[in-house]
Amino acid sequence: MHAIYAFGLLILIAFLGSQFFFRKKKFLSPLTFFFLSGLIYIFLGLYLGKNGINVLSSDVITGLSPLISLGLGWIGFLFGFQLELKYLRRFPGKYLGLSWLQFLSVFLVAASMLFLVIKELYSSQPPFLLYGMAVALGLLASLNSPTLLNAASSALPGRGNYTYLARFLVSVCGFWGIAGLALLSSFWHYPFFDSNVIPKGLFVFLISTIFPVILGIVFHHLTARKISDEDLLVYLLGLVFFVSGTAFYFNLPPLYVCMILGMTFSNLTRKQERLYPLFFSTEKPLYIIFLILIGALWDLQWDYRVALLVIALLAVKVIGYTLPLPLFKRILGFPFSLPVVFGLCFLSPGGIGIAFAVSLKLAYPLPLTDIFLSVALLMVIVSELLSPWALRSSLIKLESEEKI
Backbone angles phi, psi at 49, to 5 degrees: -85, -165
pLDDT tens digit at each of 404 positions of the chain: 455 656 566 666 666 666 555 555 555 667 777 777 778 888 888 888 777 777 777 777 777 777 788 888 888 898 888 888 877 788 888 888 899 999 999 999 999 999 999 988 888 888 878 888 899 999 999 988 877 777 776 666 666 788 888 888 888 888 888 998 888 888 765 555 556 777 877 888 899 999 999 999 998 888 877 777 777 788 888 888 899 988 888 888 899 999 999 999 888 887 776 777 777 667 677 788 888 888 888 888 888 999 999 999 999 999 999 999 999 989 988 888 888 988 888 888 888 888 888 888 887 777 788 888 899 999 999 988 888 888 888 887 777 666 55
Domains and CATH numbers, the chain: 32-403 (1.20.1530.20)
Instruction: Give the CA dihedral 356, 358, 363, 366, nearest 10 degrees.
Output: 120
CA atoms of 363 and 189, how far apart (whole Å): 10
CA atoms of 320 and 302, how far apart (whole Å): 26
**pTM listed for this prediction:** 0.87
Beta-bridged to residue 109, according to DSSP, are none
